[in-house]
Amino acid sequence: MFSCFASNHDPVRTAATSSRPSLQQAQGDRKYRLRTGRAAPAPGSTLRRCAVKQQWIPAFAGMTMERRWVVLLAAAFIATGASAAPPAIDWAQVTAKARGQTVYFNAWAGDEKTNAFIAWAGGELKSRYGVTVNHVRLKDTSEAVPRVIAEKAAGRDADGTVDLIWINGPNFLAMKQQGLLYGPVTQALPNFRYVDTTTKRSNVIDFTTPVDGYAVPWKMAQIVFVYDSARIANPADVPRSAAELLAWARKNPGRLTHPNPSNFLGATFLKQALYELAPDPAVMQQPATDESFARTTAPLWAWYEQLRPLLWHGGRQFPENGSAQRQLLNDGEIDITLSFNPAEAAVSAESGQLPRTVRTFTLRRGTIGNTSFVAIAYNAAHKEGALLLANFLLEPATQARAQDIKEMGSLNVLDLATLSAADRALFERLTPSPALPSAAELGKPLLEPHSSWMTRVTAEWQRRTSQ
């Protein structure tokens, strides 16, 4: 999970203990910021360098991954104390103070269209407000979370290395519980009035955790399945339930797969099946216990033991992520994939990554959906610039651009009924595609289970498949 902790033999450095930086230290700190895009470590903290990612992080040689998390979270909890009062945010002052700031936006960088969109947003902020956006490219959000935890534990409550972070799920839960987020902020954002907080409940409830204004929604996602209509000509033949998926796999062995559940998309494939197969899916809105997990997931594992031998490569090998799975569909090795982006088929067909004959379908009883948020670290050095970026991501024109399949194809987080006629028209002019599912086809998304279910499902899958 934290590849920066991979080696116990990285060189260790101890920052100078003087409360006042020397000229040599200040010059070194400046070089560090220029090289990494982040502020140098706080004086007085003992840090270890990660040879692969070139990051400075706390030294925990000899500890397991789990133990490091426990130590970091415990230290952060002790340092947190009582929750801070909501910040008083004056928008005119925010705009004025943000000018000249550089916002370090820690965001997943696994999709080039998303990276291009973030670059475009950065250009807009620069021209409008004089704010520079530095996209700190992550393979996973969990790369940024321990930095903030370590800074909290070390007493670095200002001038932190993370300004804005793309977040949801267990990472959001951990940061919110430990007082590592700045806020509440949503009600201070001028564009938050457009956000749908009624029918799009994942905008305010993240994996069963109330957001409480500590994160700003910016795009939505929902599980869909993608197939090539050149190979499955009759739409009535696509499976629309877990039982039908198993029956389809029996008729078409080797033509279905899913990403490895160590990837969130693979884990969601299992969670989606669990929603259909569980005796009482409502129990998944509560933290999993040993008893509830064993009882609720028993039908899932019985189903999966039948499905696995029918998967691509006999269920002995799995694509690493969604992109690898999509390539298998494009290469004709499989006939059905899944995606957390309802527009992925349309976006991929538009860009030539999939044939133009691909189509999208969902399951009869609905599919899991969630919201991606941006949140500001409690000790962010550039809070004002981060607030401007979060607000910009909610602008109707920004949301419409993000939803266009020529851009990201992301579902918007807005209540379109609150928009002006001119702003609603932006969504009516989006690029059409036969691979795009309609709102009626998507239906109301199912809320994500409590994050503990994903952790346990993934661990149990790994245990079972390693035997």
Taking only the tens place, the pLDDT of each residue in 175-221 is 999 999 999 999 999 999 999 999 899 999 999 999 999 999 999 99
Cross-strand partners of 134: 104
Domains of the chain: 3-62 (no CATH), 91-217+372-432 (3.40.190.10), 222-369+447-465 (3.40.190.10)
Which two structure tokens, joined as six digits, stand for 259?
Answer: 């990403």
Going by the DSSP 8-state scheme, the letter that residue 155 receives in this structure is T
Is the per-residue pLDDT at 118 higher than 80? yes
What is the separation, in whole angstroms, between the first and last Cα of the chain? 22
Q: Tell me what pLDDT residue 111 has.
A: 87
Could you report the per-residue pLDDT of 286-299, keeping only the tens digit for each?
Answer: 999 999 999 999 99
E strands along 170-298, which residues? 205-206, 209-210, 216-222, 224-228
Q: What angle do CA 174, 97, 423 make, to 5 degrees?
A: 75
* Rounded Cα gap, residues 375 and 203, in angstroms: 13
Neighbours of 452 (CB within 10 A): 19
Structural element, H or E, at residue 329: helix 322-330
* Rounded Cα gap, residues 160 and 144, in angstroms: 11
pLDDT confidence tier of residue 110, bands split at 50, 70 and 90 = confident
For a pLDDT cut of 90, what percent of the chain falls above it? 76
Sign of the Cα torsion 262, 266, 268, 270 reads: negative
Which two structure tokens, joined as six digits, stand for 173?
Answer: 């839960």
Which two structure tokens, joined as six digits, stand for 88?
Answer: 């008083």
Which two structure tokens, joined as six digits, stand for 154?
Answer: 């070390």
Going by the DSSP 8-state scheme, the letter that residue 211 receives in this structure is -
pLDDT confidence tier of residue 170, bands split at 50, 70 and 90 = confident
Where helices occur in 37-187 by DSSP H, the ranges are: 65-80, 91-98, 112-129, 145-153, 169-177
Contact yes or no for 261/425 (Cβ under 8 A): no
- Radius of gyration of the chain measured on its C-alpha atoms: 23
Where helices occur in 278-321 by DSSP H, the ranges are: 290-307
Which two structure tokens, joined as six digits, stand for 263?
Answer: 């990837």
* Rounded Cα gap, residues 47 and 45, in angstroms: 6
